[in-house]
Each structure stands twice: as C-alpha cells, then as structure tokens.
Amino acid sequence: MKQSLSIKLGQQLKMTPQLQQAIRLLQLSALELEQEIQENIDANPLLETEDDWSDGSDGDSADNDVSGNDPIESQELEASIDDTSAGADMEFTDDFAATELEPSDFPDNYGEEMISTEVVDIAIDGMGESEVSDQLHEPLAEDIPVDSNWDDVYPQSPAGTAAESDYDAGANDSAEETLESHLLWQLNLMPIADSDRQIALAIIDAINDDGLLGTSIADICLTLAGNNQGPEPPPTEAEVTQILHRIQRFDPVGVGARDLRECLLLQLEQLDAATPWLNEATTLVSKHLDVLGNKDFTTLVRQTQLSEHELSQVVALIRTLQPRPGNALLVEKADYEIPDVLVRKDKGRWLVELNPETLPRVRINNTYAGLIKSIPTGPDKDYLRDNLQEAKWFLKSLQTRHDTLLKVAAKIVEVQKDFLECGPEAMKPLILADIAEQVDLHESTISRVTNRKYLATPRGLFELKYFFSSHVGTTSGGEVSSTAIRALIRKVTAEENPRKPLSDSKIAAILAEQKISVARRTVAKYRESLSIPPSNERKQLV
C-alpha cells in the first residue's frame, strides 16, 4: 500500500470538561449538589462558602473585607406569570449575570468586584456582615490552688475521643423498635421456665411482620426437636400450643394468630363485654367470614337472620379490628424532600422562584485570588491560576444549572396553570419535546433538569416529572391528559353509590359522556394505578 498525505475537512462534536461538568450538575438533586459543592470546596482553595466569609476565617480580616460594602441584600430570582393576560407573558428577574474575569488580569479592587459579582451570582439569600470576635481565652492563672487538679480547671476530652471531634446528634437515638423486639421485651417481663422460654422464642421467631404466625405448630416442634441437645424430650404440640396462647395475649392484640379468623376473634375477646353487637360480630367472624370477604350481603342477611341495618352495625364493628396487628408497630420514616422551586400566586399572577434554601452560597476567595497579581511567576502562581479558572468554571456551571431550572419550571407552570387553579382534572397533556421546543433546549436536557427536582405549589409538593403525561384523544378531536383521566376516575368512584359501585365499563361510559374516549381495559389500568379495588370489593352496606 502506497503511503501518502492528504487533507480532509470534517466536523466533530466533543464535550469539553466544562460542558461535562455543567451536564453533571444539571442532573444532580439538591442533596447531591450540596455534596458536590463541598467536594469542590475541599479540593479548590479558591472556593469558599458563606460560613467562611461570614466568620472572617480566611486570612487577615482587613484583607478579607476590603470592599467595605454594606451587607448584600436578598436577591429574588423569579419568573412571574400574568394570570390576566391571554398569552401568559413571562417576566424574568435574573441576577445571575455572568461576569467573565481573565485570570491573568486583576485590578487593584479585585476583592470589590468579586463581592459585587460572584457572590450575587450564587448567593441568592442575604448575608449579614461578618463579625469577628477578638475575645481570646483567658490566660492561665499564675497560682493554681493546690487542692485542684488540672482536669478540674480545664476538663479534658474523654479517653480515646478527640477533643475536636464533631458532635453526632443522632448517636444517642434509641434503636428502632420492631415487632420481634417488642414481643421479646414482654417475654422478659413474664415469669416463665427455661424450657417454656425456648418454646416462646421459637414462636416469636416464626411470627412475621404482619403479626401472624408464619408456620405451623408441627414445624415449630420439629425445629425445637432438632435443636434439643439435652436429656429432656422435645416439646409436644400441646405444649407449644399452650405457650402460643400465652403469647397471643401480648401486645398488639391478635399477635401470633394462625389465620385471619383467629386474629379477629382474639381482638373481639379483648373488647368489653358491653360492646354493642359484640356477640353478633363474634358469630359472624366464626361462621361466615368467607361470605363476608366476598361481600355477599344478601346471603349474610339470610344466614345471620339480621336486618341490613343491623348487619351494617356488625360489619362496622368488625372494620375497627386490625387484620395485620404487626402494622401497629410498623412506623415508616417519612421521606422529606426540599423543593427546588417555589410557586405562589400574588395579585393574580403566578410567581416562580428558586428556593433560597437549596441555592449554594459559594464564591471565590478574594484573598487567594489577589495573590496571583502579587506573587512572582512560578509553580505557586500557576497553581492559583489553574484553581481560579476551575472555580470560575464551577460557578458558571452552577449559574447555568439554576438558570435552566428556573426557565424550565416557569414554562411548566405556564403550561399547567389550569392545574394550579382547578386541580388534577385540569392537567394538560405535556411531553418533554413540548417544553424543549418552547425553551430552545434538547429533550435530554429537559429530562435531566426535571429528574428529582421538586416544585412546591399551593396544591402540594410535586416532582417536575409529574406534570408530564401522555394524552388520550377526545371525540371532539381534542386531547386530554392521562393524569386528568385518573383524577376523574378517582372522583367518579368517590361519588358512587357504595351499595352499587360502578364497574369499569360503566366508568368508561361516564367518561364517554364527557367526550373522553377511553377503553374499559384502560380504565382498569388507571384504576389499579390509583390503588382502587374493583367494583365487587368496593361494595358496602350503608
């Protein structure tokens, strides 16, 4: 093959490190963004947080406060949507204007420029003027009393613990109580023989999270027989059953039951004998629980010889019981999400603003940045110059993230304004491509900026992706959001006659009357996504 030189003209798309950083910051949640900022602050000495400059901890206080400016007032970043205009024009108040600074050219008043530009770029909240305390520790007294020890005057940290270690507020929190630990605590309070205690431990170990016995008495006996290494014979089923009855008196009531019928009967036994309809409820659970589960109230009226009104009273008493007694101790920790964007209505206009609590308060350290001009050329100057450029890129990426988030959130609120006014039934169909076209961004960017970002509205806290939904055609040629259809299904089932609940076909017919063309199987799919049971399970006596 003959070798030759040639020139070709082509185009290539390459992602610069700055672009990669901006994309990575765009898809981070508020918590992940906070961690990312802290990592950059730890790695870059030219970045500092609000605590650093408010405490006056970086360098000389005189050098750090060269501007002499007043405390920076709170800057509001918002987009207002005029509710009275047909076009819903957007008005942006953007204080995130980027200021490009060359790392090789710094004026004498560089510190003033950084305070008046970079801080406003990132720190949306107002920050008070730094107050540096000049108070130092009192010097040691020349004469310390003989009868006092050094630890009495200056207490030392505990053995094996560093004095400067951070205090862990959750270190002394009590352990989360489980059903097993709750039952073991009651078992320890009960006088019981060692042999019976081993049986009780095996029974408690076989109780599942619902509070029901997850295995049979025979299996428990086999387990105990396999673990029996002493001369005593293994326990019999009668002995295990006797210990089980004692555990079934533990709290919560009904724990250790072998099936639903036994669980309900145990709870009925604990009620006061003067409870109305107690005997009828016990009979119904004992003999007709299967019929009650099928909600065949006509058969129940015939078998129990009760009127419909009386039967409804008995069923109401049974509904007060807990079919899963273990759930009484199942306390799920609430997941708290901090909203990234706030929406409020003021004088007929919907205002969209970034949450100041989630905005990073970070800036470039003016003391270190000012050294670039004073120190001679060398490795130190190159180090500061490189870190300054990286700090500028990072701040600009943060600025881009907030600008994009605000722009997208404001456009979503503009499109879904009817949802804020009237509720989920007024939700409009919306896809990523619609917002991408209106804000002149790519769909992938819209997907990143709406992922794990939350919007606080007067109607609650929603993820930005909640406002995107598919559409269903109407008989008039229009479109309706699937979210709106789910809201209509929930409303229709909530207003139905509990004696004659609506079937999926009937719900589809009701939606067709509102010019919404939805198949029965689609109604069933939406109903299941809302955790609404079918019509035969929604039937009730009134």
61 and 117 housed in the same domain: yes
For 294-320, the DSSP string reads TT-HHHHHHHHT--HHHHHHHHHHHHT
Of 218-232, 412-426, 460-474, the one with minimum mean pLDDT is 218-232
Last residue of one domain, picked from the residues 441, 468, 495: 468
Cβ burial, residue 262 (10 Å; 0-12/13-18/19+): middle
Ranges 90-99, 131-140, 293-302, 475-484, most confident: 293-302
Q: How confident is the model at residue 162 (pLDDT cuts 50, 70, 90)?
A: very low
- Domain membership of residue 143 (yes or no) is no
Q: Which of 491, 495, 484, 542 is nearest to 518 (CA)?
A: 484
394 and 493 housed in the same domain: no
Could you tell me which residue, 166 or 441, shows the higher pLDDT? 441
Last residue of one domain, picked from the residues 306, 329, 352: 329
212 and 313 housed in the same domain: yes
Instruction: Kindly state the average pLDDT of the residues 127-142.
Output: 37
- Domain membership of residue 139 (yes or no) is no
Last residue of one domain, picked from the residues 468, 483, 504: 468
194 and 319 housed in the same domain: yes
Could you tell me which residue, 301 or 227, shows the higher pLDDT? 301
Q: How big, in percent rounded to 5, are the helix, strand and coil portions of the chain?
A: 50, 10, 45
Q: How confident is the model at residue 69 (pLDDT cuts 50, 70, 90)?
A: very low
Looking at residue 408, its pLDDT comes to 94
What residue numbers bound the domain in which 119 lies? Answer: 17-92+111-124+343-468
Q: Which of 381, 354, 386 is nearest to 370 (CA)?
A: 381
Predicted confidence (pLDDT) at residue 382 exceeds the cutoff of 50: yes
436 and 304 housed in the same domain: no
- Domain membership of residue 431 (yes or no) is yes
- Domain membership of residue 445 (yes or no) is yes
530 and 412 housed in the same domain: no
* 211-227: pLDDT as tens digits: 999 899 999 998 888 77
Predicted confidence (pLDDT) at residue 130 exceeds the cutoff of 80: no
Looking at residue 161, its pLDDT comes to 43
Of 98-107, 143-152, 519-528, the one with minimum mean pLDDT is 98-107
Which segments within 274-412 are labelled E, that is strand?
Answer: 341-346, 349-354, 362-364
Looking at residue 175, its pLDDT comes to 55
Q: In one letter, which amino acid is 231?
A: P
Looking at residue 102, its pLDDT comes to 38
Could you tell me which residue, 486 or 86, shows the higher pLDDT? 486
Predicted confidence (pLDDT) at residue 268 exceeds the cutoff of 90: yes
Looking at residue 141, its pLDDT comes to 43
- Domain membership of residue 335 (yes or no) is no
Cis peptide before 429 (omega within 30 of 0): no
443 and 479 housed in the same domain: no
366 contacts 101 by C-beta, under 8 angstroms? no
Q: How confident is the model at residue 67 (pLDDT cuts 50, 70, 90)?
A: very low
285 contacts 265 by C-beta, under 8 angstroms? yes
242 and 315 housed in the same domain: yes
Please give the mean pLDDT across all residues of the chain: 76
Ranges 136-140, 367-371, 538-542, most confident: 367-371
Considering its fold, how many domains does the chain have in total? 3
29 and 86 housed in the same domain: yes
223 and 262 housed in the same domain: yes
Predicted confidence (pLDDT) at residue 401 exceeds the cutoff of 60: yes
Q: Which of 87, 90, 80 is nearest to 347 (CA)?
A: 80
Looking at residue 3, its pLDDT comes to 86
Instruction: Kindly state the average pLDDT of the residues 198-202.
Output: 91
Looking at residue 377, its pLDDT comes to 84
* Angstrom distance (rounded) from CA 536 to CA 326: 27
- Give the largest CA-CA distance in the chain: 107
Q: How confident is the model at residue 499 (pLDDT cuts 50, 70, 90)?
A: confident
Q: Which of 236, 168, 247 is nearest to 200 (CA)?
A: 247
Looking at residue 497, its pLDDT comes to 85
Q: In one letter, which amino acid is 144?
A: I
522 and 461 housed in the same domain: no
Could you tell me which residue, 109 or 139, shows the higher pLDDT? 139
CA atoms within 13 A on the CB side of 207: 30
Q: Which of 54, 143, 66 is nearest to 111 (CA)?
A: 66
458 contacts 520 by C-beta, under 8 angstroms? no
- Give alpha helix (H) positions in 305-378: 308-319, 366-374
Rounded percentage of the chain residues whose pLDDT exceeds 90 = 28
The residue count of the chain comes to: 542
- Domain membership of residue 148 (yes or no) is no
Instruction: Kindly state the average pLDDT of the residues 302-330.
Output: 88
Q: Helix and strand tally (H, E) in the chain?
A: 25, 10
* Angstrom distance (rounded) from CA 128 to CA 130: 6
- Domain membership of residue 154 (yes or no) is no
408 contacts 446 by C-beta, under 8 angstroms? yes
Could you tell me which residue, 110 or 346, shows the higher pLDDT? 346
Looking at residue 481, its pLDDT comes to 85
304 and 380 housed in the same domain: no
Residue 522: which CATH number?
1.10.10.60
- Domain membership of residue 532 (yes or no) is yes
457 contacts 343 by C-beta, under 8 angstroms? yes
